[in-house]
Amino acid sequence: MVQVLWTDLGTLGYRKAWQMQQDLMAGLIAGKPAESPATGYLLLVEHPHVYTLGRNGNRSNMLASAAQLQAGQAELVEVDRGGDITYHGPGQLVVYPVVRLSDLGVGIREYVHRLEEVVVRTAADCGVSCGRMEKAAGVWVDANTRKARKVCAIGIRCSHAVAMHGFALNVSADLTRFNAINPCGFTDRGVTSLEKETGQKIDIEEVKRLVRRHFSDVFGVTLVKLMGITQLGVSPATCT
């Protein structure tokens, strides 16, 4: 069975995690790690407050001024993933698979579908029924209704059959932070979190465990834990 190495990065700045993914992607494209059966990596992380704008995004969907962002201790980062604008911050679990799609036996469309399935199953285990919405990537509560609200955003980049970026699942995130943007470019759809939907405190560590289990099941891979960031083989400056 294909092995995917995973690690929990704790809280890490967005730019450092982005550089880490790029380093890992470059290694996989170059054929590394050739000495192991691993086909990729799974990074779990929370970010300090940040807004990210995808390569096809519309900057007008950022509603806050630079001064307002600074006052909120946040920044706007233009990135190389698909999708429009979204928010990352404490209480949101961000999951970055850096994987060879060819080794997983999937194309881009099926890969995104399976990432959504990982989230759907995870949310269900937390007591939240979710689904997909037509012509809108991500995972939604009350999908395809007027009350549709997004609980998880998805955006990826793929090069030479290697994917990076991933999904951001709102566990207990401060949803007021989304007021600064048109989330994912939508002006008529809301956002939500697992805690808001259940009205109960949800342990993000338990959500991490569920995500790992369902990622393994949905993609048919074995997850192998890395004992430390340095084992990733990326530039030391990226890890600190």
In sequence order, the 6+-apart residues with CB closer than 8 A to the CB of 180 are 51, 62, 63, 64, 68, 69, 72, 74, 87
Give 85's Cβ-side CA count (13 Å radius).
24
Tell me whether residue 184 is one of the annotated catalytic residues: yes
17 membership: H or E segment, kind and range:
helix 14-29
Which is the catalytic residue, given 130, 152, 184, 239? 184
**Contact at 8 Å (CB) between 87 and 171?**
no
SS3 6: strand
End-to-end Cα distance, the chain: 33
**Joined tokens for residue 103:** 């080794």
CA–CA dist 82, 144 (Å, integer): 22
Chain position carrying tokens 């369902």: 214
In the sheet where 50-53 sits, what is the strand order? 76-78, 50-53, 85-88
In angstroms, the CA 175 to CA 191 distance is: 7
Q: Which residues are catalytic?
A: 184
